Structure 1
Amino acid sequence: MFDRSRRNLLSRRRTPTLQRLPWVVDEDTFVDSCTRCNKCISACETQIIVKGDGGFPTVDFTRGECTFCTRCADVCPEPLFHPTTEQPWGIRAQINPSCLAQHKIECRSCGDVCEVQAIRFKLQAGGVATPELDADVCNGCGACLSVCPASAISMFTTEREEK
């Protein structure tokens, strides 16, 4: 018998965890039922669905944003998705301390691409406007992540998604 914790130490990567597709059922059902046919990858209008570990499709926000077009769910031959009338997922953006604006460098890239206006900038007298993210408004599209010049935005899973 071997100690898995030691093995996990060696297998940890610094690359961000990739997100499953919007509306996807729980992880166990997805892994058990996905045939890795790649139809969702071909159907993605923004080409952000890529092959992840084991060939399973994942969303890579460094390539762009999810437009919630539903093509991945529509083309899938397996029953892997919740109805697309529900919320797509429980992930949200998070602005990290490496944000340029927090280091007094003018940048509003994330706010410019945020269609739902979850990222707004608070003006500072005699300083640089700093971003404020309203997690309740954020839909987790990932548009802000790919345009950030400092890679200061990450996506996190909300408690609602974990359940």
Structure 2
Amino acid sequence: MSNSINQSRRNLFSRRKSKVNRPPWVKADIDFTDICTRCDKCITACETQIITRGDGGFPEINFAQDECTFCQKCVQACPEPLFDLAQNVPWQIKATINDSCLANSGIWCQTCKDACDPRAISFKPAIGQAPKPLIDLESCTGCGACVAPCPNQSIKIQA
């Protein structure tokens, strides 16, 4: 097997692992898939049902329908030592807005701002243009409340 094919396969797995959002408060220094038993207790416990069964049956966060309320029910339901509530923040993921945002096409839309409880999203006025979104990364909790309301699916929550 050639080295480029071998490297390509390795990159496939490392990319996939880094793009998956796990439940909040997962310990940063563990390999989640080595400890998680895929029991689905966190999925069942999630009050907003954003924890779904992902690749390999492991829990992943999907903000397509709702947000994380940081209720900690997933943490309480898990029988494994996956979580650490002593961490300063529940996770390192934050909102990002891509170029498909309607404001970039001159359409006035601020649904993400309206959905953002911590007020991490604001809009900068521009003369003769629709206001452009700005995210205060210090205020963003990564809750995902801004994702589902976006009419153009322009917001992603990622590390």
The TM-score, its normalising length taken from structure 2, stands at 0.86
1:80-95 mapped onto 2 (5 Å cutoff): 80-83=82-85, 86-95=88-97
Write the letter of the residue equivalent to 2:131: A
SS of the counterpart of 1:143?
coil
Q: Who is 2:101 aligned against?
A: 99
What's 1:20 paired with? 22
The runs of at least 4 consecutive aligned structure 1 residues that moved more than 4 Å come to 8-11
Change (3 A) 1:69 1:84: farther
Larger mean CA deviation between 127-136 and 105-114 belongs to: 127-136
The equivalent residue for 1:121 is: 123
Aligned partners of 1:40 and 1:49 also within 8 Å: yes
| Identity percentage of aligned residues | 48
Aligned to 1:146: 148
2:49 is matched with: 47
| CA distance in 2 between partners of 1:31 and 1:9 (Å) | 18
8 Å Cα contact 1:46/1:66 also seen in 2: yes
Aligned equivalent of 1:161: none
Unaligned runs of 5+ in 1: 158-163
Distance 1:64 1:126 in 2: 34
* One of 112, 115, 127 as aligned partner of 2:114: 112
Shift of 1:34: 0.9
The answer to which of 30-39 and 18-27 deviates more is 18-27
Cα displacement (A) at 1:27: 7.0
Please report the RMSD computed on the Cα atoms of aligned residues, expressed in angstroms. 2.6
Pairwise CA distance, 1:65: 0.8
Deviation at 1:8, TM superposition (A): 6.0
Deviation at 1:155, TM superposition (A): 2.1
Q: Give the structure-1-normalised TM-score.
A: 0.84
8 Å CA contact 1:18, 1:60 repeated in 2: no
